[in-house]
Amino acid sequence: MGWQYFYNLVRPHYGTGMNGKMPFEKLKDLSYDLLRSLPCFPTYLGYYQH
């Protein structure tokens, strides 16, 4: 959970349209009403089977 918190709530991003904002901050600017704990949920690495 530590890296998700840092990556989504602390670290600024400079990709297209981010302008140094954190992903959570960008979503808030786009009028998404999210819980602050949402970006800290564990990453799901789904299992894909042919």
Average pLDDT, the chain: 80
Nearest alpha carbon to residue 3 among 35, 38, 40, 28: 40
Instruction: Round to whole Å and give the CA distance between 49 and 18.
Output: 35
Residues in contact with 35: Cβ distance below 8 Å, sequence separation at least 6, in sequence order:
none
- List pLDDT tens digits, range 17-37: 999 998 888 888 888 887 776
Taking the CA atoms of 31, 41, 16 and 12 in sequence, report the sign of the dihedral they define. Answer: positive
Q: Is the pLDDT of residue 46 over 90?
A: no
Residue-by-residue DSSP string for 18-40? TTT--HHHHHHHTT----TTGGG
